[in-house]
């Protein structure tokens, strides 16, 4: 069975976002979704990682809880999924494609809302399969 390509990753990620409760979907409308093969050296450095195989997803932006009405002219927030590390994790853990994408997308979206890990787990549970 061939590995999911970037378009399949994007479709799976968008399906997760579409299943979020409306209040969350509305707050994520301006967030850019990117599928990359690996994180860049700058992205890895920003989270204190060295191996490009370690990082499966990343939120880059200012959490809603930290934004100010005085903030202007900033780049839109971005959720990136890193295809090769995700494929490696799928192979190593035997976690299904949809389940792994759901977990990573919700975790990264949670950063947009300033959620704790417990909040992210609750949100993931609410989305289901």
| pTM of the complete model | 0.88
pLDDT at 12 exceeding the cut of 70: yes
SS3 96: coil
For residues 30 and 129, give the distance between their C-alpha atoms in angstroms, rounded to a whole number. 25
pLDDT at 114 exceeding the cut of 70: yes
Would you tell me how many other CB atoms lie within 10 Å of the CB of residue 21? Answer: 10
Measured CA distances, 45 to 52, 63, 81, 108, 129 (Å): 10, 20, 16, 17, 33
Contact 82, 39 (CB under 8 A): yes
pLDDT, tens only, 42-74: 999 999 999 999 999 999 998 888 877 666 667
Q: Which domains does the chain have, with CATH numbers?
A: 6-63+76-127 (3.30.2010.20)
Q: Is 77 exposed, middle or buried (0-12, 13-18, 19+ CB in 10 A)?
A: buried
Which pLDDT does position 125 carry in this prediction?
77
Q: Give the contacts of 18 (CB within 8 A, at least 6 positions apart).
A: 25
Looking at the chain, which runs of residues are DSSP E strands?
A: 32-36, 57-60, 78-82
């Amino acid at each position: 069975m061939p590995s999911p390509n970037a378009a399949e990753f994007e479709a799976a990620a968008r399906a997760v976002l579409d299943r979020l409760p409306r209040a969350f979907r509305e707050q994520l409308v301006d967030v850019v979704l990117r599928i990359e093969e690996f994180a860049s050296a700058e992205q890895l450095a920003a989270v204190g990682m060295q191996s490009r195989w370690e990082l499966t997803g990343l939120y880059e932006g200012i959490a809603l809880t930290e934004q100010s009405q005085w903030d202007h002219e900033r780049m839109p927030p971005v959720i990136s999924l890193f295809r090769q590390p995700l494929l490696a994790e799928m192979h190593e853990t035997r976690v299904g494609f949809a389940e792994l994408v759901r977990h990573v997308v919700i975790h990264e979206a949670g950063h947009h809302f300033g959620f704790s890990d417990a909040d992210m787990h609750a949100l993931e549970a609410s989305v289901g399969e």
